[in-house]
Amino acid sequence: MSYVDLQVTTNYTFLRGASFPHEMVAAAKIMGHETVAITDRNTLAGIVKAYDAAKQANVKLVTGCRLDLMSGESLLCYPQDRAAYSRLVRLLTVGKRRAEKGQCHLTYEDVVEYGEGQFFIALGDYANDALRGLLQKLRSDFRGRSYMALTRRFRPNEIQRLSDLATLAAACCVQTVATNDVLYHTPDRRMLQDVITCIRLGRTIDALGHEREWSADRFFKPSAEMARLFKMHPEAVERTAEIAARCTFSLDQLKYQYPDENLFPGLTAQEGLERETWKGAAVRYPNGIPAKAEDKVKHELKIIAQLEYAPYFLTVWRIVQYARSIGILCQGRGSAANSAVCYCLGITEINPMHRTLLFERFVSASRNEPPDIDVDFEHERREEVIQWIYKAYGRERAALTATVIHYRSRRAVREVAKALGLPEDTAAVLAKSVWGWSEAGIPESQARNLGLDPTDYRLKLLLQLSQEITGFPRHLSQHPGGFVITQERLDDLVPIENATMEDRTVIEWDKDDIELLHMMKVDVLGLGMLGCLRRAFDLLSAHKGLDYTVDTLPKEDPAVYDMLCEADSIGVFQVESRAQMSMLPRLRPRNLGDLVIEVAIVRPGPIQGDMVHPYLRRREGKEKPHYYKDELKEVLKNTLGIPLFQEQAMQIAIVAAKFTANEADQLRRAMATFRNDGNLNVFGEKFIRGMVENGYPEDFAKRCFSQIEGFGTYGFPESHAASFALLVYASAYIKCRHPEVFLCAILNAQPMGFYAPAQLIRDAIDHDVTVLPVDINASRWDCVLEWQAQDVFAVRLGFRMVPGAANEIMAKIPCPETPYQNIEDLWRRTGAPVAQLEKLAEADAFASLGYSRREALWIVKSLSDKPLPLFMAADQAEGFDRPEVVEERVTLRALAAAGEVVEDYATMAFSLRAHPLSFLRGELTRQRWKSMAELRRLKDGDRVRIAGLVLVRQRPGTASGIVFITLEDETGVGNLVVWSTIFDKYRSVIMTSDVLACVGRVQREGEIIHVVADSLYCLNDMLAGVSKDGADIEIKQRDTYGSLTVDPSKMRFHSHDFH
């Protein structure tokens, strides 16, 4: 009989196991084992991954778990059947719900309570009284289902130790089982295992001492070797297979059931769905439903009935209904969302008649994939929906899915360096040099560039081990909004634990796991733009009497598209980024379909697949669409023969590379899941070979596959793009037709989007919106519209724009019946703390009372937070204001105009007065620095000298070391491109300048102008000069120890930077 490893700890026992579940399964298979068990500590987090791998490898998986009890005892536990599995899950849930996140508090009594149908193996290395006690308890509670582990440790007196253990077991009438206590799949992982022990214990490897795992022989061995190692205890080896054979449970047996919504008494879910769909259709088509639409709805309903998905659609419908009922704006997206049924149900606003997407493409039996609908809600109100779901379905039936947080390079470097005892600064330097998220590890050349010696042994180890640990799961986190809802108890299927966030419960499995088990998930996501749009609709209704929704906005307004074609899109959903803005004038969208492409094209997939330029050429008519074969024309005709969407890539795999539906499914999963093994490469070869054999050019095949790899980094299907395109149009429409409403709404929805309020305000002013400053007698917390003339509104900035202002304090200020007379009046009437009044003074909010910024601050500083003296309260009762302080009048030196602007920038990051650079213009012109307006008149290739205030410094991870800098002056913004060699040379200038000057070359791409920098200069001193008031003696700040001499005038401008 062959041996079965019954004690295998994967890296889902975080910082203990040193191999992935799939590696474990594969290694067991290589060793010739037909069966393997996975026993992570107090968790089933890795079990689905192991199950999937076992299924692929045709290995039987014994589902198990190691239970570490609070008393210090440890047991391996294997559910015998489905019922026992549920009990194990329940047991873990009980332990987890009573502990903090990531912990599990279990007692032996709990084990007894849920122990029916489980096999138990007691763990213990020495035949001592503690083990004897445990064995006796197990024997009396579980009789023949209790065992004791025998494990080789390769220590002295091993034969004696094992024989003592066997004797003890016999005395307790418990049988012995050989285990190998596997921690990693191959011996190569030994070093990594030591390192993760260090990380777990917070020690360095030099100080790890005897905490290092005892035996380092913790990998799979062939049955013959196990038989040899246990030749004194052959029965213990044989018993492994016996136990494995008796564990008949497999995750196959989990039967997931959608919640049977039961919303319509007397009707089945399908009947209910049909009724609601037709009801909705009547609303959508008040003039009668067109025959084509009717056919489509009927067709979809038939497929839904066939796949029994009706309850799922009803669940989503119910959630959307609830959100609408309390006034939360929401919109569905995702594969099944863009269907006629969802349109009728009001889940989406995408009229399916306008698209030719096939419903089957999203919901199909052969694709073996549950339907997927994500619903976006207003970001700040999403929690209300989440809590409603918990309440409506109960915590035993609804929980968020987990997200596995993996080691990325940066963290891997930092933690491994610490474990290896390398100086913190070496680690910091290396970690910092990893831009963004990367799985690639740090190459030696990079280390050398950082001034580190790559031949240093510890550094070598760091590079090697940090690369090895990259991709390891580190902990479980909650998915941003993926809900699993079940009909039966969810804690019969999967353990549930508390999330770090209050009032949230999370299952142990991530979205891949639940997808694999065909469990249904509804994504309840937050989207800032929906909050912005809801505010805009409210403002339109209140001030202009226009009642719009996303659905009822005037459609396909040419003015809106004109605006977009000019890349005038600051603040517009999705298309406001620099990359999108440079695409807009080239793509020149004229309808919603174009917007769908616009949203999807600026993504890693099409970019990596080099699909962007061919598409643009064909669109501009410079090149004819070419489909290679007719079979592809069907797939690619909407995108002129160029695959741009994830769905198309999948179709190509099936149609052109001749993947089976199952293979395509695996490909999709490999694509979507982050894995550091070469899984995708296997598909790559097959994909390219398939297409070539099928008569496609190899180059095209390769590009298609690069694109698929790109989707892996950030998948973006057409179904999502379509929903987003609607929001692009909606936000662009409001910006175009009601710019003041747009500004007001987007400022109140901050933080969101790509731009800071300063840029949004400036953009609005450029669009002739009047923006009024924060004012103590006019502002409210939110920004509001102020009527100025018939249909003319100005935006009054709210207290929310004042940095450091507290909502609960500021809420007491607005709109008194009689305006505040002076600062003391305000202070007395609102009781606002002095610190908050200082913020208002610094924001220049008392200007309308006749106080300058400095005067206001001087007065505010004289006030105190102590309660009013009694007599003062009495005075107040009599309507007499006794001044708080009587003191000499002080005349403060007034700030010059430029000084006020600089102060505006320092406190608010923008100024409504003027741009700071306007004060420098004379000097700039003298020094031959050009303005942004002048830049726009230059030709491609012209030399240019340009200067501006630094708004943003960006270093995109994909752009291999290029830095983008956005400069601004009183005439507009301009963009610099700094190549990495130039960046390295001017690094300190770039990073420390508020006013930056650049000598470079103009690069024009249609409407988009970049300046490619050759050299850069810091003009901060010029700025310091204008903001000076009076005859300040310039005293050079010197380097000295301590913060005492830091010049308080050194107030940095706010730029958004990448560090």
Partner 1 sequence: MEARLRRLSPEANAALVDKPIVIANLEDQHRIVLAVNAAAAADGITPGLALAHARAVQPNVVALPAQPLDDARALERLAVWCLRYSPLVSACAPDSIWIDATGATHLLGGETKMLETIQGAMAGHGLTARVAMAASPGAAWALAHFCPHAVTVSSAPADLNPLPVMALRISLATGRSLWRVGLKTIADLRHVPRATLPRRFGKDLLLRLDQALGQAPESIEAVLPPAAKRKRLTFAEPIGTADDLKRTIALLAPPLCAELEKSQEGARKLDLLFFRTDNRVETIRLALARPSRNSAHFIKLLSDKVETVDPGFGIDAAVLTAWRTEPLFPHQIDADRGVDGIGDISDLVDSLANQVGARNVYCIASHASDIPERVMQPADPANHPPASWSTNLPRPVRLFSPPEPIEVMAMMPDHPPARFTWRGESRLITHADGPERVFGEWWQDIREVAEVRDYFRVEDTQGERFWLYRDSRLTTENTHRWYVHGVFA
Partner 2 sequence: MQTGRKTAVLKDLRERIHRLERLEAPTRRSAVKALPFGIPALDSLWSEGGLPTSALHEVNSVSVAGFAAASAFAAASAGRLGKPVLWCSTSPDFYAPGLAQVGLPVSRLIVVRARSEKEVLAVMEEALRHASLGCVIGETPRLTLTTSRRLALAAESGATMAFTLRRRRKDSALEPIAAASRWRINAAPSSPHLIPQSGRGRWTLELLRSRSGATGSWNVEVPDTQGYLHLPSALADGSTVAPFESRGERRAG
Q: Which of positions 853-872 make contact with partner 1 (CB under 8 A)?
A: 854, 857-858, 861-862, 864
| Helices within 891-1007 (DSSP H only) | 897-908, 921-926, 932-935, 980-992
Nearest to 961 by CA among 946, 942, 981: 981
Instruction: Please choose which of partner 1, partner 2, none residue 862 contacts, taking the beta carbon within 5 to 8 angstroms, the exact cut-off set by kind.
Output: partner 1
Residue 163 CB, nearest approach to partner 2 (Å): 7
Pair of tokens at residue 627: 């489909």
Residue 232 CB, nearest approach to partner 2 (Å): 9
Binding flag, residue 549, partner 2 (CB under 8 A) = no
Binding flag, residue 191, partner 1 (CB under 8 A) = yes
Pair of tokens at residue 475: 């902990």
Instruction: Please choose which of partner 1, partner 2, none residue 57 contacts, taking the beta carbon within 5 to 8 angstroms, the exact cut-off set by kind.
Output: none
Residue 159 CB, nearest approach to partner 2 (Å): 5
Nearest to 844 by CA among 892, 903, 756: 903
Of the residues 624, 866, 939, 1050, which one makes contact with partner 1 according to CB under 8 A: 1050
CB 379 within 8 A of CB 527: yes
Comparing CB distances to partner 1, the nearer of 264 and 858 is: 858
Of the residues 872, 989, 1008, 1024, which one makes contact with partner 1 according to CB under 8 A: 989
Local structure of 166: helix, strand or coil: helix
| Residues in 867-896 at the binding interface with partner 1, rule: CB under 8 A | 885, 887-888, 890, 892-893, 895
Binding flag, residue 231, partner 2 (CB under 8 A) = no
Residue 237 CB, nearest approach to partner 2 (Å): 19
d(CA 367, CA 372): 12
Comparing CB distances to partner 1, the nearer of 278 and 1058 is: 1058
Binding flag, residue 1043, partner 1 (CB under 8 A) = yes
Nearest to 853 by CA among 900, 800, 885: 900
CB 892 within 8 A of CB 854: yes
Q: Which residues contact 67 (CB under 8 A, 6 or more apart)?
A: 42, 74, 75, 76, 77, 91, 106, 111
**Tokens 């689905």, located at residue:** 48
Residue 161 CB, nearest approach to partner 2 (Å): 10
Residue 156 CB, nearest approach to partner 2 (Å): 9
Residue 447 CB, nearest approach to partner 2 (Å): 40
Comparing CB distances to partner 2, the nearer of 36 and 162 is: 162
Q: What is the DSSP track for 516-574?
A: HTT--EEEEEEEHHHHHHHHHHHHHHHHH-----TTTSPSS-HHHHHHHHTT--TTSTT
Q: Which stretch binds partner 1 (CB under 8 A): 154-162, 519-527, 659-667, 868-876?
A: 154-162
Residue 76 CB, nearest approach to partner 1 (Å): 24
Residue 992 CB, nearest approach to partner 1 (Å): 4
Partnered with residue 331 across adjacent β-strands are 376
| Residues in 138-177 at the binding interface with partner 2, rule: CB under 8 A | 157, 159-160, 163
First to last CA, the chain: 60
Binding flag, residue 721, partner 1 (CB under 8 A) = no
Binding flag, residue 678, partner 1 (CB under 8 A) = no
d(CA 483, CA 885): 60
Comparing CB distances to partner 2, the nearer of 170 and 358 is: 170
CB 195 within 8 A of CB 205: yes
d(CA 611, CA 607): 6
Pair of tokens at residue 438: 């990367």
Instruction: Please choose which of partner 2, partner 1, none residue 369 contacts, taking the beta carbon within 5 to 8 angstroms, the exact cut-off set by kind.
Output: none
Instruction: Please choose which of partner 1, partner 2, none residue 992 contacts, taking the beta carbon within 5 to 8 angstroms, the exact cut-off set by kind.
Output: partner 1
CB 468 within 8 A of CB 461: no
Return the HEC string of 68-81. Answer: ECCCCCEEEEEECC
Query: For 558-649, where are the E strands, in sequence order?
Result: none
Comparing CB distances to partner 1, the nearer of 877 and 1033 is: 1033
Size of the site for partner 2 (CB under 8 A): 4
Comparing CB distances to partner 1, the nearer of 456 and 566 is: 456
Instruction: Please choose which of partner 1, partner 2, none residue 564 contacts, taking the beta carbon within 5 to 8 angstroms, the exact cut-off set by kind.
Output: none
Local structure of 865: helix, strand or coil: coil
Residue 1041 CB, nearest approach to partner 1 (Å): 4
Comparing CB distances to partner 2, the nearer of 163 and 250 is: 163
Comparing CB distances to partner 2, the nearer of 229 and 982 is: 229
CB 495 within 8 A of CB 43: yes
Q: What is the DSSP track for 100-135?
A: -TT-----HHHHHHT-TTEEEEE--SS--HHHHHHH
Of the residues 1041, 1053, 1054, 1056, which one makes contact with partner 1 according to CB under 8 A: 1041
Binding flag, residue 387, partner 2 (CB under 8 A) = no
d(CA 878, CA 280): 64
**How does DSSP classify residue 440?**
S
Pair of tokens at residue 339: 């269907």
Instruction: Please choose which of partner 1, partner 2, none residue 163 contacts, taking the beta carbon within 5 to 8 angstroms, the exact cut-off set by kind.
Output: partner 2
Binding flag, residue 1035, partner 1 (CB under 8 A) = yes
| Residues in 792-831 at the binding interface with partner 1, rule: CB under 8 A | none
Residue 825 CB, nearest approach to partner 1 (Å): 19
d(CA 729, CA 550): 9
Comparing CB distances to partner 2, the nearer of 125 and 875 is: 125
Binding flag, residue 458, partner 1 (CB under 8 A) = yes
d(CA 1009, CA 935): 8
Interface mask (CB under 8 A) for partner 1, residues 894-923, using x and -? Answer: -x----------------------------
Q: Which residues contact 266 (CB under 8 A, 6 or more apart)?
A: none
Of the residues 56, 100, 144, 155, which one makes contact with partner 1 according to CB under 8 A: 155
Comparing CB distances to partner 1, the nearer of 432 and 629 is: 432
In this structure, the number of other CB atoms found within 10 A of the CB of residue 988 comes to: 9
Q: Quick one: 787 exposed, middle or buried, by C-beta within 10 A (0-12, 13-18, 19+)?
A: exposed
Instruction: Please choose which of partner 1, partner 2, none residue 858 contacts, taking the beta carbon within 5 to 8 angstroms, the exact cut-off set by kind.
Output: partner 1
| Residues in 997-1056 at the binding interface with partner 2, rule: CB under 8 A | none
Comparing CB distances to partner 2, the nearer of 157 and 891 is: 157
| Residues in 295-354 at the binding interface with partner 1, rule: CB under 8 A | none
Host H or E run for residue 1009: strand 1008-1018
Comparing CB distances to partner 2, the nearer of 159 and 870 is: 159
Residue 995 CB, nearest approach to partner 1 (Å): 14
| Helices within 917-1002 (DSSP H only) | 921-926, 932-935, 980-992
| Residues in 203-242 at the binding interface with partner 1, rule: CB under 8 A | 205-206, 208-210, 212, 215-217
Comparing CB distances to partner 2, the nearer of 236 and 316 is: 236
Of the residues 451, 621, 922, 941, which one makes contact with partner 1 according to CB under 8 A: 451
Residue 160 CB, nearest approach to partner 2 (Å): 6
Residue 210 CB, nearest approach to partner 2 (Å): 13
CB 717 within 8 A of CB 641: no
Comparing CB distances to partner 2, the nearer of 103 and 160 is: 160
CB 687 within 8 A of CB 657: yes
* Interface with partner 2 (CB under 8 A): 157, 159-160, 163
